[in-house]
A and B are shown apart, each in its own frame.
Chain A
């Protein structure tokens, strides 16, 4: 909503400065989005007379002008074709900033002739795109006067952002009322508002509301027929004001409708009565009905839209935009004025559907004062007669004013109860009355004015008092925690996420945050794509399905990074994944997951040879994640049955019993191909929600006593030759189970294939740590333990000791 300072002063008798008004507006909830003070930008420019304009001795297209600025005579070199002796123009002295070019003017020499300033075009002044020549002012323009004042550009333009509840402030009247209530001046009367204009004859155009069971679509239509008008340009002061707020003056009749729209928040429309066929009919649209609107475009109506029609066809969208065929032109002689009420919701819905934003819609969808329909019709009729002459008919009114009167209980102490600031009851009443509310003395029952449909209860009244009184006057109250030491804030899921993030980042991966949706094709490759999880209205087909897994997004990101030359890297994300149950808002449908990818090779370095990332890197990451969640990692089984998007021979699952806690491995080549990604690439995905809640222990947080053996541990190495398909884990398990009390640890330190080992077999070198508890191990103990280990492994895996 834009308006000028002087226009505001039509309604508000005030001595307040522009800055004071802007500050008050913002603190009233009418946030100032911008102030355009042209007088400030144009302050350096004054009117000046060209005393002489001689050809430049060195350049055909330039002139050397002697300019009288009123204060002095200066020489200016000018390239404008219209620079000539005797003309009045706009002078910019050296050192001034030129808005149109964003340059600071310097004293200069052009082809040997000194130039001490500039004569400006409208484009250079920043007031229009006109650059054919320099500005020419009327010969009787005073010399040395500020250009901004001469051009009527010294009226600051204020733009406020209106919240959707404040339809009343879509008119300058409402803004002035708020400012007056806040003490920035006195609200003036509006000349002519509320007066009636006598009519001389019965309107030849009648209005019929044919809305069937939807009378609320247009409850009231007030009109006038004015015959014999002459539709020339509107007076300059109207044009100046419209132009200042960004509207193009068109003709007196159209400008009048725009003027009331801005001034009183009262949208109007004018029909060329001679172009109407019969009466005006307000009815719902017909599906597929084409409406040729004022903007020269055609729109398709439907049965939910309110149309203004004549007997022949639909002409206009009620409350949004008039029709092309019935609009007023310079030739209009007989005009029919419309001042109606339209349903806010229907107006908003229609505007959205046809994609039209207009000044009328802006107001009707916020709610227009129902009492302004007749008053606006009367005041506009008066203005038409004043500007265009003619003769007015008797008023035409169809429907009636909807009942807007209501009352709410108001307890003045609620201002302090909710607002935290003591406002005397009398002050609250004063504020409400200044805003137009009816307050009965004593009985605390308050009636909102017709222009405030947004007021719907006591809390709204409290807000009115508080915002006028000033939020800045609410004392700041301490809000300490209920206990001196607050309890930990995180839920289990949040604590999981926090631990996962820091653990995976510590493992060298960079955290990414990617969208919760992805292309359905990607989702389908990772077990998703269910119809229940498709978006009905995606922004694009790239974002049309809720993700079943984090990996597709990370895979895509890895591919983009690799394409950008980052040939190796690691990314992870902790976030939601979705199962079809999520569409029924079932908690088990929305899980938290942690996913990660590594791609490329380990770095080239003097100390180690690079190697491509592989499934075991992903396994390490999965274990890092599960350890961070305090999952019982030593009880996990590793199974080679990861889902189909993994490489079947290079992937696995980490399971607690049958429940998978994580997948890991290299991705299936077909999946990589679908993402246009190249290996090596390894990924994991872990599921924190599947990690069991640790059983509460009797001792609470107490740790069991530490048991440290007094005897030396002994390390023994074994080389087992096994068939190629025997998994390392089965060998290690057999080792550990050979003597659970004695064997503290077992790990594989070498895997060998080749010379000395039969084809189809491999040698696993296993280091076993034996930890005696009761006595130092004798040679005989060691021999016995070794024999048990060898026997156990042989039994479990068919291994033989390497000779």
Chain B
């Protein structure tokens, strides 16, 4: 390369390096490689050179053009990079700002508990059944082998609607009348659960005039107390999530079952803290038994042919035990702080698509 071309290359490369913006760089490119640029001019003048000189000079000019072009590309990339850096720096925001509000709702623990109970008994083939909150005396009492003189029928326990004595509608005192409605509606075998509202005329620290129960009923030809034990032990262990939870069945008395059993689960009360699990102490959680032959007969079925078990438990009670809710009355207070604290997120759906226990 001649001194002349070397000097030109140095000059152009210097100009490229000196360009401090893409615009300035473009100016340099035009000055060097544009149609009227210095390098382009020299290329054009090549035709006037002698043939033997032309080849040599042509190679030199191509080298020069390549060198300048490479320098411009490199500089352009560098400038673009710097430009992007500047833009990014200028676009910085405060990512610690609080996000736009999207208020979270919650489900009441009673609803969540009913869903949990439904899930477990559903796996055992029980289906929902329903009945009215306002019931007639026959379904709520008589058909369940609760005679007219029974203390449970007295006003101190039962809410009555206005009406003539003896035929006044009642607010159902338990979900058991749905046992009757179910057995009357469809022939056995059957397995149903009945979660729902129930009412008793009681209002103090441990009683609410309205509360929830879930009734269970299984009727077949050979269902016996061993099945009752198997079913309820499975339930208690699944519901409380304690695989080795002790479950005890002890004799009791209900008008609509014979034999009758109260069901206790194991717990400890060490240090004043109640904990569900193996531990030497017992906690009563539900009542159960073999459906009384008179109840089966009252539904138009032959108790010599059909038999089975029934159970009933308080939803609030098992929810309070499982989730450590200290006071029954707060369940119905609708205090937002309570609902947020004890409530459940809307997508916390009990079921198999859940995290497995360890």
Contact = CB atoms under 8 A, between A and B. Distances in A.
Interface stretch (B27-35, B68-76, B159-167): B159-167
Contact of B149 (A349, A475, A505, A512): A349
A590 B133 contact: yes
A458 B307 CA distance: 14
Nearest to B218: A479
Interface residues of A, number: 105
B259 interface: yes
A502 B346 CA distance: 5
A494 B128 contact: yes
A345 to B, nearest CB: 4
Number of chain B interface residues as a range = 35 or more
Given A352-B151, A534-B162, A505 B334 contact: no
B186 interface: no
A505 B107 contact: yes
Contacts of A480: 124-125
Contacts of B168: 536
Interface stretch (A598-606, A673-681, A722-730): A598-606
Contacts of A462: 258-259
B290 A566 contact: no
A486 B124 contact: yes
Interface in A558-596: 560-561, 564, 566, 569-572, 574-576, 578, 582-585, 587, 589-590
Interface in B45-71: none
A419 interface: yes
Interface in A412-454: 416-421
B338 to A, nearest CB: 9
Contacts of A245: none
Contact of A345 (B134, B149, B209, B218): B149
Contact of A163 (B129, B253, B293): B253
Contacts of A751: none
A29 interface: yes
Interface stretch (B6-14, B96-104, B271-279): B96-104
Contacts of B333: 557, 560
| 8 tightest Cβ-Cβ pairs between the two chains A and B | A420-B226, A29-B251, A481-B125, A477-B226, A557-B334, A508-B103, A163-B253, A463-B259
B124 A583 contact: no
B224 A418 contact: yes
Contacts, number: 274
Interface in B234-275: 234, 248-253, 258-262
Interface string A337-373: 0000000010011001000000000000000000000
Nearest to A454: B253
A489 B334 contact: no
B187 interface: no
What is the predominant secondary structure among interface residues of chain A facing chain B? Answer: mixed
Contact of B134 (A478, A494, A582, A605): A582
A491 B251 CA distance: 34
B115 A164 contact: no
Interface in B104-163: 104-108, 110-111, 115, 118, 121-130, 132-136, 149, 151, 154-156, 159-163
Contacts of A700: none
A471 B251 contact: yes
Nearest to A491: B128
Given A478-B227, A482-B125, A538-B159, 16 more contacts: A418-B259, A420-B226, A472-B249, A474-B229, A478-B230, A488-B127, A489-B118, A493-B130, A494-B130, A510-B105, A512-B334, A513-B331, A535-B159, A571-B334, A583-B161, A608-B100
Interface in B292-320: 292-293, 307
Interface string A497-520: 010011111111111111111000
Contacts of B97: 606
A494 B160 CA distance: 26
A10 B191 CA distance: 49
Contacts of A587: 132
A108 interface: no
A457 interface: yes
Contacts of B336: 510, 561, 566, 569, 571
A160 to B, nearest CB: 12
Given A459-B293, A539-B201, A566-B336, A516 B133 contact: yes
B123 A486 contact: yes
B251 A466 contact: yes
A566 B336 CA distance: 8
Given A472-B248, A494-B128, A509-B105, A419 B224 contact: yes
A502 to B, nearest CB: 5
23 contacts: A166-B253, A417-B307, A463-B258, A463-B260, A479-B230, A479-B234, A489-B121, A490-B118, A490-B127, A494-B130, A501-B111, A507-B105, A511-B111, A511-B343, A513-B111, A515-B210, A535-B161, A537-B160, A538-B159, A560-B334, A583-B163, A602-B101, A605-B100
Given A352-B151, A476-B226, A463 B334 contact: no
